Amino acid sequence: MASFGKGIPDQIKRLSVVVILVLAAFFIGRMLLIPRDFGRYDHFRASALFDVASQEVEFAGQDICTECHDDISSQKANGYHQGLSCETCHGPAAKHTESPDEVTPFKPSGREYCPICHAYLASRPTGFPMIIVESHNPMKACTVCHNPHDPKPPQIPRGCEACHAEIARTKAVSHHVYIPCTRCHQTPEEHKVNPRTYRPDKPKTREFCGACHAEGSTEAPEAIKIDISTHGGRYVCWQCHYPHLPEAR
């Protein structure tokens, strides 16, 4: 027994003790520290679900707001912000519902909050109200002109570019620059006030573009002419060509 480990160098023996201690600490640590319910459902502690469920609720949900602020709710219900929850702008309000007089919810002011949704950004859908903050009524707080609970533009937009700025800018550098929007889009006047209820239409026939582009057409002599009976099969022109920036030169 005394000869056990005789050929093993002294360094290895000493280091082995450390390695054994580290491994023992690791395995004992694992035994003691891994929660019993770890891995019951997946790679997490099962009781974490209950921990999360027991967290204090911070948002009240918009139904409860209606109980006291029914005037604002009914105003909002018909406006453009009908899809937004009250707490989107006013922040978590559970505490306010418990003690309404002591806790006042956040109220956005100035002109830095609304642009988070309404500043110009190319990826927002066309027609979505966007502004260039620097040039849009500088220094005025948004709420001076707009009621956030029923945010109509304070005046009826004069032209299409007020809402369709990206298309307006694209068209400005295209061959169609001199064609007014309403030449191709029949637009009811009410579209300016209720844009989603009254929508403009799009050209439905090939002959519409053919008025300028068909062979033999005398209108717009500089426009490219095609044989409308064979070109493009049965497709309407704008299914292949983008009329706001037509690619053919």
Two tokens at 169? 């800018």
Mask 32-71, x = binds another protein (CB under 8 A)?
-xx---xx---x----------------------------
Cβ nearer to another protein, comparing 100 with 110: 110
The kind and range of the H/E element at 207 are helix 206-213
For the chain, the maximum distance between any two Cα atoms, rounded to a whole number of angstroms, is 114
Cβ nearer to another protein, comparing 50 with 106: 106
Two tokens at 107? 């109220």
- Phi, psi angle pair for 191, to nearest 5°: -55, -30
Q: Judged by CB under 8 A, does residue 1 bind another protein?
A: no
| Residues contacting 20, CB < 8 A, separation 6+ | none
Cβ nearer to another protein, comparing 120 with 208: 120
Least distance in Å: CB of 43 to another protein?
Answer: 6
Cβ nearer to another protein, comparing 5 with 29: 29
Q: What is the C-alpha end-to-end distance of the chain, expressed in Å?
A: 97
| Residues contacting 202, CB < 8 A, separation 6+ | 184, 185, 238
Q: C-alpha 146: how far from its chain's center?
A: 21
Least distance in Å: CB of 22 to another protein?
Answer: 7
Q: Which residues of 142-168 are buried (b: 16+ CB within 10 A; e: fewer)?
A: bbeebebbebeeeeeeeebebbbbbbb
Least distance in Å: CB of 190 to another protein?
Answer: 31
Cβ nearer to another protein, comparing 106 with 198: 106
Q: Which of 5, 20, 24, 26 binds another protein (CB under 8 A)?
A: 26
Size of the site for another protein (CB under 8 A): 25
Least distance in Å: CB of 192 to another protein?
Answer: 27
192 vs 156: CA distance, rounded Å: 6
Mask 113-132, x = binds another protein (CB under 8 A)?
x-xx--x-xxx---------
* Interacting residues with another protein (CB under 8 A): 9-11, 14-15, 17-18, 22, 26, 29-30, 33-34, 38-39, 43, 112-113, 115-116, 119, 121-123, 133
